[in-house]
Amino acid sequence: MTTTTSSPESGTALSVTSTSTAADLLTALRTIVKRLDSTPLPTKDPDAVRNDSSLAPRHIAALMQVVADERLSVTTLSGRLGISLATASQVVTDLEATGLVERIEDPTDRRRTLVQVTEAHRELADALLSTRLRPVQRALDRMKTSEQRAVVRGLEMIAQELGADS
């Protein structure tokens, strides 16, 4: 059984069979990554973040989390990224050094420190939201809650398997 889904944004039809293989999944993931990478950021210098040699994929992943939630603690960030608190703190320090984020005192609990995008990079944050996060959220919103959980769980299981040998 083959199901064809059309993407309104791209007009491209994606077909999914009920017996999809690992190769089919990897092709779909490659297409998603390629589209995300080729989506220009509507900023003065769209390649500034991508071309900054000090930013590794973990920095971009952390930045996306900060952009998505505006302000979050380093502890929350470490949990979402599945990294240690020390590593998350170092990633935030690196992002701070580039001027992308800043640490601020939590207004409701002075013992906590929150991370937020700097005002100088607000345009970049808004661009990331509109070009990266919102399209993914729209796709998830079209799914039933159980389907959303299945997609995330399936990707987590694949990530675990890919990391099992390293």
Q: Which fold has domain 41-166?
A: Arc Repressor Mutant, subunit A (1.10.10)
SS3 of 89-153: HHHHHHHHHCCCEEEEEECCEEEEEEEEECHHHHHHHHHHHHHHHHHHHHHHHCCCHHHHHHHHH
Q: Would you list the domain boundaries of the chain?
A: 41-166
pTM over 0.85: no
- Give the per-residue pLDDT at 9: 46
- Give the per-residue pLDDT at 10: 47
- Give the per-residue pLDDT at 139: 92
- Give the per-residue pLDDT at 95: 94
The number of beta carbons lying within 10 Å of the beta carbon of residue 1 is 6
Please name the residue ranges forming H helices in 11-84. Answer: 22-38, 48-51, 57-69, 74-81
Tell which residue, 61, 81, 68, has the closest CA to residue 130. 68
Q: Which of the residues in the chain have pLDDT under 50?
A: 1-10, 46, 50
